[in-house]
Structure 1
């Protein structure tokens, strides 16, 4: 059995003060690091994804920009403020996240919307599915930001890939409390074990 941790989008722009910051994001970054210190040998691999959007254009309609390229009003469902632009501080991992444990970096969203880690590409140029297969991973735990978007999409895709999946509900932060609660319910209905990291 080979187990991996998926750390989803723990980036400056998704934490307090960022372009699309969620409440509790910084606390989740620190809590993930503490969890990994407590369990240094739990994971064979640690994947960490980042949104890595193009500076120009609207990234396939993901950024709220009008025809002139000027900012437009986002609907916060399918269109969003400009965030996590490649190479900017906003796209960097949050400083409270210990990235020394990351074995596989993943970038997603270059020129198009991308919520799931499976829509990204690893630093070695493989898809996430290819990398998981190469490493023989069959179990994943999922943590990070945002519960109701990228964590949800990543965990559902992991189930679709035939993996055994857990989401730690005390190591995630969401855009909206009600949609985050619904996301966790949806994950449980899909066969994901939703539980606290403190139980493990």
Structure 2
């Protein structure tokens, strides 16, 4: 397979056991994409590879366990914004938070940990969710990619309807052309696939 141009980067989102069958927040067939992503990285088709890693403190504000009277998947307002409450997942240092061992991560140029601040969730690789001051702080990834001469970003990983989608949308807002490896993603719920496709079309993100 031919290599992509040097100005194209691959961002692999949250390929972690907690998002796979048997994990704390399992995506539909989340483990099914691991072999193909491992093969894609092994082919060295991308000159720049970034991996993100959800990395929450045990008392993270997005966990339903931190909100008495609420259950996982309920929605509340957090910092005046809608927030889905999740099962405890990807807790720092836990086995479920590790990058999947079926992938050779030594090819990654950068591993970006997100969701590390207790009070702020972080779906996107490029910006955290809204914080107490009402802003969405940048993670620094956009600047890192721009300084490496990257103009186009391809995304894959978990979950299609949350972290991968938000990362793709924020990549566009950060000035990149963006493509979405649909078959190398899986959703929390496939009922959201129509919404995801509409959102990608609205943002002019190509599906590959």
After TM superposition, is the score higher than 0.5?
A: yes
1:156 paired to 2:169: yes
Match of 2:86 among 73, 80, 89: 80
User: How far is 1:185 from its partner?
Assistant: 2.5
1:1-200 map, 5 Å: 2-37=7-42, 39-40=43-44, 42-55=45-58, 57=59, 59=60, 61-66=61-66, 72-75=70-73, 78-110=84-116, 111=118, 112-119=120-127, 127-195=140-208
Scaled by the length of structure 1, what TM-score is found? Answer: 0.85
User: How far is 1:189 from its partner?
Assistant: 2.1
Contact 1:26 1:96 survives alignment (8 Å): no
Change in Cα spacing, 1:16 to 1:109, as seen in structure 2 (3 Å) is: same
Change in Cα spacing, 1:14 to 1:76, as seen in structure 2 (3 Å) is: farther
Runs of at least 4 residues off by over 3 Å: none
Change in Cα spacing, 1:54 to 1:66, as seen in structure 2 (3 Å) is: closer
User: How far is 1:180 from its partner?
Assistant: 2.5
What is the distance in 2 between the residues matched to 1:171 and 1:67? Answer: 33
- Give structure 2 stretches of 5+ with no counterpart: 1-5, 76-83, 129-138
- Give structure 1 stretches of 5+ with no counterpart: 121-125, 196-200
What's 1:123 paired with? none
Scaled by the length of structure 2, what TM-score is found? Answer: 0.82
What is the distance in 2 between the residues matched to 1:101 and 1:178? Answer: 34
What is the distance in 2 between the residues matched to 1:143 and 1:160? Answer: 18
RMSD of aligned alpha carbons: 1.8
What is the distance in 1 between the residues matched to 2:39 and 2:195? Answer: 27
User: How far is 1:67 from its partner?
Assistant: 5.4
